[in-house]
Amino acid sequence: MEIDLKNKVAIVTGAARGIGRAIALRLAKERANVVVADINTEGAVKVAEEIKTLGCQSLPIKVDVVNEDQVNQMVQATLSKFKRINLLVNNAGAVIVKPVIELTEKEWDAVIDVNLKGTFLCSKAIAKVMIKQKSGKIINISSTAGKSGNVFFVSYNAAKAGILGFTQGLAKELAPYKINVNAVCPGIVGTKMWDYVDEEIGKRTNVPRGRTLQRHVEEIPLGRIETPEDVAGVVAFLASTDADYMTGQAINVSGGRTMQ
């Protein structure tokens, strides 16, 4: 299957590292021009430079996805440079590993805001552009944790499950405008986030560092940890014309660990 996103304009949030970086680079390899949006300016600039070496245009933008003014400024900056927006990947996320009885209201709000509110604000702003264009694709990065709850992840579980409901509702709402809305649900991905998760769960369950991650990987039928590039490949497919008849879906990318 050949994916060709030549001259398409994509915004990827949380693109300075990890899954977001892999998505931004994969879209550029498929010849899309990419807006690298992240609260980490230095990281966004580095990824934007990587994209330019692939022969595509890129625009690094500092944005806090929970700030509506900054989100709107991101959209306007993109339109000023590229005149259109064909694809939004809502990837920005955050996790806090704590038992519910220790989780503060502020911590709960922080996780819900970045993951769920950020997805809402970015989708809202960019849907206005796509409705006028009568075309576009929105891809939300959820998680298998949104389908099957995990201990010490209650706020993250709730946020990622919320993204799935949001995806389905928005897909129906935007379908008349030929806009596709889908979600991707990664599993155990080898990123700094999972290093943090492994360490925090290890402290609370009194197991050596690395054991929690190892135990989860042992549950994966395909026998290896997931890479950010595994996620990026599915995003690239959803961004392509081959996925034009898919909307409202939540696709697992978990090596078989989650099958529902």
Active site residues: 156
Q: Which of 111, 135, 140 is nearest to 123 (CA)?
A: 140
DSSP designation for 117: I
DSSP designation for 188: S
Helix, strand, or coil here: 44? Answer: helix
Residue 244's Cα: distance from chain center in Å?
A: 19
Cα 42–Cα 86–Cα 137 angle in degrees, nearest 5 = 105
DSSP designation for 144: G
Neighbours of 183 (CB within 10 A): 27
Q: What are the residues whose beta carbons fall under 8 Å from the beta carbon of 67, sequence distance 6 or more?
A: none
**22 vs 259: CA distance, rounded Å:** 24
**71 vs 64: CA distance, rounded Å:** 7
**215 vs 81: CA distance, rounded Å:** 47
**182 vs 212: CA distance, rounded Å:** 30
